[in-house]
Each structure stands twice: as C-alpha cells, then as structure tokens.
Amino acid sequence: MNKRVSKDQWLQAALDSLLEHGVNGIVIERLATTLGTSKSGFYWHFNNKDDLLESILSYWESEFTDTVINSSTQQHANAEKKLQSISDMIMDHQLGKYDMALRIWGNEDNGVRKRINKTDRKRLGYISEIFKELGFRGEEPENRASLFILYHAFLDSMFLDDTSANKRKKVRAYNKLLMKK
C-alpha cells in the first residue's frame, strides 16, 4: 500500500469523488483507497482537506480552461477552426465532465462560486473574441459564446448513451448553427 501517487492523481481522484459524492463526499481515506496508496501520501502533496479543495479549484481552472485558451493548435487557426479545435479538446479530454459538480459545490460555497464565475468570465471572454472574429457584433458574440459553453458543460450529462462519434457529430452541427449569421 505504499504506491507513489502524484499530486495530479490525487486531484483527479478528488474530482471524480466530487462528481460522484459531492464536496462532502471527498474523504481522504476513500481517495487513498481508490488510488491504492496510504493516507500519508496525501500529506506529501496537501496540508489538509481545505488545501486539497483549494487545489481542486486551481487545477480545474488551469487544466480545464487555461489549457484550452493557451493551446498552440489554435494560435494561427481561423475562427471556425478555433471553435472546432476547442470542441475537439473538450470532448477528447472530457473537459466539461466536472462543470456540473463544481457548480453544485459553488451553490453551497460563495468563495467557490466566485472562482467559478471568474473562470466562466475568462471562458466567455475568450470564446466571445472568436465570435467577433467571425463578424458578430453587439451582444451576439457573448450570447453565442454562452451557448457554446453551456452545451459543452451539459453534453455528457444530456447524451449519456450516445457514442463519442454521435456526440462529435452533434457538436459539429451545433457549431455550424452558432456560426451561422
């Protein structure tokens, strides 16, 4: 039971626990058991559960938002290809998987809600700029960006039994609708 576990593995297990059990269901002993390691390994990476919870938010902001925004595959692409690239990244890496669980947590904790709102504004600003590149003006870029973000956040929970190929086909159709003037 002395398996070495990285900080990212602890965070991923904690996110999975958040998804399955909610914030109160994140229990260090359960995470250690899930990861096949001892509880003492947790304290190598985190001071306590509060430190873990803070780290979950930072990890989500970084890995599930900043990674997409800073992706090199989008740097020189046109706006249409950027949207598709973002959609592909979200689907390929299940980047919307934890959004609902985090929002439920945010409904219970004002500090968490503020962090989620900050991340939402970052996402909205980035996607809105892409819609501006497509020629939308006024409120349209933000409205379309909101829809883009919403369908990605709910995609997996709405289409539980769909294959990956069917989801990808739907997302391509949604993107075309959003880009249509």
pLDDT at 72: 63
Distance CA(144)–CA(30), nearest Å, equals 41
Give pTM, 2 decimals.
0.89
pLDDT at 89: 93
The listed CATH number (1.10.405, 2.20.25, 1.10.150, 1.10.357) that belongs to domain 60-179: 1.10.357
Would you say 112 and 102 are in contact if contact means Cβ atoms under 8 Å apart? yes
Domain boundaries, the chain: 1-46, 60-179
- The two tokens of residue 122 are 């970052």
Q: What is the pLDDT of residues 6-36, one digit of tens each?
A: 999 999 999 999 999 999 999 999 999 999 9
User: Which run of H or E residues covers position 112?
Assistant: helix 110-133
Torsion, Cα of 102, 100, 71, 176 (10° steps):
-160
Would you say 142 and 124 are in contact if contact means Cβ atoms under 8 Å apart? yes
pLDDT at 159: 77
pLDDT at 143: 97
DSSP-derived secondary structure letter, 48 = S
Distance CA(57)–CA(1), nearest Å, equals 28
Which phi and psi (to 5°) does residue 12 adopt?
-65, -45
pLDDT at 108: 96
Pick out the chain residues at pLDDT < 50: none
pLDDT at 44: 93
Place of tokens 């939308």: 136
127 closest CA partner among 86, 173, 177, 77? 86
- The two tokens of residue 177 are 């609708």
pLDDT at 154: 85
1-46: in CATH 1.10.10.60: yes
